[in-house]
Amino acid sequence: MTSLERQWQQQSEQRLRTIKLMLLVVLSFGIVFVALWWWVTQPLPFKRRDITAAMVDPARLEHHVRKLSVELHPRDESNPENLDRVAAYIRVEFANLGARLFDQSFTVNGKTYRNVIGEFGPETDERIVVGAHYDTAGPLPGADDNASGVAGLIELAALLAKQQLPLGVELVAFTLEEPPYFGTRFMGSAVHANDLRQQNAKVRAMISLEMIGYFSDAPGSQHFPAALLSLFYPTTGNFIAVVGTLSEGLLVRQVKAAMQGANELPVHSINAPTIVPGVGFSDQLNYWNAGYHAVMITDTAFFRNPHYHTAEDTAEKLDYKRMAMVVEGVYAAVVELCRNP
């Protein structure tokens, strides 16, 4: 073999090694991308039908939302008397359904605020917590944010009251979720989560209901914290979302599957770090901080609802039929979590 032939052969071998390396890199990136996509979005190719499916009356949800956003308005931290009226309303609704009732009172800047707790099912060491905040950001109607979540909590109580539960379920209406106390130890959910931790209480899962009533069938009505996410999720805001951190993949998948099986409402999910805007923007954050597993159920708030934190967040803008389907899905998820840890 001549030197020219040897040189040509060496160059060919080098090119082949380079091509193989490039293919390996591309394949590796592809595998990582698919694995990341799978873990973030939790795709469920097969939809099951849940035998525990229940029906929620949309008119009941609308009644609660109008009560909270009109009659009991305003519900911000500067109106503790009105917040007490809201707490009393929730307490009566829970009591009428046979809940074991507790008030969790605490003082902030000389004013007393309270979480309302209604327990259903047996008094077990381990429990499931479902919560929604009833305060608003300033003197605003707060129909979607978060009268919708509280209405869902009350109607969820009505469903649980009829169910023979194998595990205790704690429904908590939180106060002081909104600014100026968001992210502080004075959030009602922080008070509740930290109290559970101090008691070494076992929490199988926590579900936060954060804005569950606003839907749109208009193309382009759904927005995202990063444009890349529009490649993986619908850009029409006609779905409900299950949100968890990267470490909550299994819980998110379990809740999502149960909700999908309850009815025909589209359910999507995301697992992402809390640095992604919106992931940690509600009460589930305090349970993560306390070391508990938690997810948020949401219509995605300001990524969809243009009336977020404005005077236009009013009762007539909500879709109570689809909101009822959300509550039915949450009920299915709670029953599933009770039966299958």
Contact status, residue 328 vs residue 58, Cβ threshold 8 Å: no
Q: Rounded to an integer, what distance in angstroms lies between the CA atom of residue 314 and that of residue 306?
A: 12
pLDDT score recorded for residue 46:
63
DSSP3 helix / strand / coil % (the chain, rounded to 5): 45, 20, 40
Tokens of 63: 């009644």
The 10s digit of each residue's pLDDT in 136-167 is 999 999 999 999 999 999 999 999 999 999 99
Residue ranges covered by each domain of the chain:
1-41, 58-339
Three-state secondary-structure class, residue 129: strand
Looking at domain 58-339, does it have CATH number 3.40.630.10? yes
Name the phi and psi angles at 215, rounded to 5.
Answer: -135, 155
Tokens of 224: 């995202």
pLDDT score recorded for residue 14:
76
pLDDT score recorded for residue 43:
75
The 10s digit of each residue's pLDDT in 246-297 is 999 999 999 999 999 999 999 999 999 999 999 999 999 999 999 999 999 9
pLDDT score recorded for residue 44:
76
219 class by beta-carbon count within 10 Å (0-12 exposed, 13-18 middle, 19+ buried): exposed
pLDDT score recorded for residue 26:
57
pLDDT score recorded for residue 165:
96
Length of the chain: 341
Residue of 263, 262, 217 lying closest to 238 (CA atoms): 217
pLDDT score recorded for residue 22:
67
* Residues in the chain with pLDDT values less than 50: none
